[in-house]
């Protein structure tokens, strides 16, 4: 009887030990699985999971002006070009370029400018951070978010044979002007309205987006305000490439921020 009881106790002890061992192995397996899942989540950062290359725009708050019109273009080689326009201020246009680096979190970029400006990279957005690297809170928080110019592949206008209405010039919105430009495939002719005078000339496209305008001539009317026209014609003399994003077209100089922005007019 004693031997039988002893045998039952030994069996029970082995059973408990086996269960504990199995539970421990199960916990180890679950812990390892959780660790692997966490590592997989960590691998998906803004740097490697988002289409962050492109041009972003927005108007930042300004303490002593109407606002700062900011445009920044992030290139795949981790260089950038930016333009800051202090609205309402004379000589308030500032261009800059440099490089940026990703911080360890894979969510934030740091520019090489003297202010060490940093941005949180989101889905089609750049959020400018404060000097401590934190998002700005409060009523003005949304004004620190720059939005990416989108390429609407389902509704894309052709660069040629489209009437492009001028909507932004040197970073400033253009609302009360009939200025436009069009590139006709017929004899590679460029023509349009500069805001007061009409113009015509020739164009040539190389390597997909490199643009050369030549023999551009205008009519000679005088108008009360020639500001838009003067800047528009300067852009035509300066621009050496274009970009096409859906129904938005820009004229650019090298890799700088866009000189002029146009929208396709139906």
Is the pLDDT at 34 greater than 90, yes or no? Answer: no
Burial class (CB in 10 A: 0-12, 13-18, 19+), 5: exposed
Per-residue confidence (pLDDT) for residue 198, from 0 to 100: 96
Count other C-beta atoms under 10 Å from residue 161's C-beta.
11
Phi, psi for residue 173 in degrees, rounded to 5: -65, 140
Count other C-beta atoms under 10 Å from residue 118's C-beta.
19
Please tell me whether residues 142 and 106 are part of one structural domain: yes
Please tell me whether residues 131 and 167 are part of one structural domain: no
Ranges 70-84, 151-165, 217-231: which has the least confidence: 151-165
Task: Let me know if residue 186 belongs to a domain.
Answer: yes
- Give the domain-ending residue among 99, 120, 148: 148
Per-residue confidence (pLDDT) for residue 171, from 0 to 100: 87
pLDDT tier at 41, thresholds 50, 70, 90: very low
Domains contained in the chain, number: 2
Phi, psi for residue 204 in degrees, rounded to 5: -140, 135
Count other C-beta atoms under 10 Å from residue 68's C-beta.
20
CATH number at residue 118: 2.40.128.640
Please report which helix (H) or strand (E) contains residue 6, including its range. helix 2-43
Tell me if 243 sits within 8 A of 177, measured CB to CB: no
Task: Let me know if residue 221 belongs to a domain.
Answer: yes
Is the pLDDT at 255 greater than 80, yes or no? Answer: no
Tell me if 137 sits within 8 A of 148, measured CB to CB: no
Q: What is the mean pLDDT of residues 55-64?
A: 89
- pLDDT 10s digits, 171-228: 889 988 999 999 998 889 999 999 999 999 999 998 888 999 999 999 999 999 899 9
* Range(s) of the domain holding residue 63: 49-148
Task: Let me know if residue 194 belongs to a domain.
Answer: yes
Those residues with Cβ within 8 angstroms of residue 97's Cβ, 6 or more apart along the chain or in another chain: 79, 80, 81, 82, 255, 256
Task: Tell me, yes or no, if the pTM score tops 0.85.
Answer: no
Please tell me whether residues 61 and 116 are part of one structural domain: yes
- pLDDT 10s digits, 90-110: 778 888 889 999 999 999 999
């Amino acid at each position: 009887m004693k031997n039988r009881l002893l045998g039952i106790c030994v069996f029970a002890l082995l059973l408990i030990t086996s269960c504990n061992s199995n539970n421990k192995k199960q916990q180890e397996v679950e812990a390892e699985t959780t660790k692997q899942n966490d590592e997989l989540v960590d691998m998906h950062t803004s740097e490697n999971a988002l289409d962050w290359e492109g041009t972003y725009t927005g108007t930042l708050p300004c303490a002593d002006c109407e606002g700062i019109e900011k445009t920044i273009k992030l290139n795949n080689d981790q260089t950038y070009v930016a333009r800051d326009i202090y609205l309402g201020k004379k000589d308030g246009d500032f261009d800059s370029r440099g490089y940026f680096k990703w911080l360890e979190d894979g969510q934030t970029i740091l520019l090489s400018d003297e202010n060490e400006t940093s941005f949180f990279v989101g889905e089609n957005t750049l959020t400018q951070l404060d000097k401590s690297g934190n998002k700005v809170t409060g009523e003005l928080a949304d004004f620190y978010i720059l939005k990416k110019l989108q390429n609407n592949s389902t509704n894309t206008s052709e660069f040629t044979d489209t009437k492009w209405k001028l909507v932004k010039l040197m970073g400033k919105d253009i609302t009360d002007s009939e200025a436009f430009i069009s590139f006709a495939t017929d004899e590679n002719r460029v023509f349009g309205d500069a805001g007061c005078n009409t113009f015509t000339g020739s164009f040539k496209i190389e390597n997909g987006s490199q643009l050369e305008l030549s023999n551009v001539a205008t009519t000679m009317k005088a108008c009360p305000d020639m500001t838009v026209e003067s800047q528009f014609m300067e852009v035509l003399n300066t621009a050496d490439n274009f970009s096409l994003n859906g129904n938005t077209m820009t004229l650019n100089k090298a890799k700088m921020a866009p000189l002029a922005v146009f929208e396709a007019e139906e």
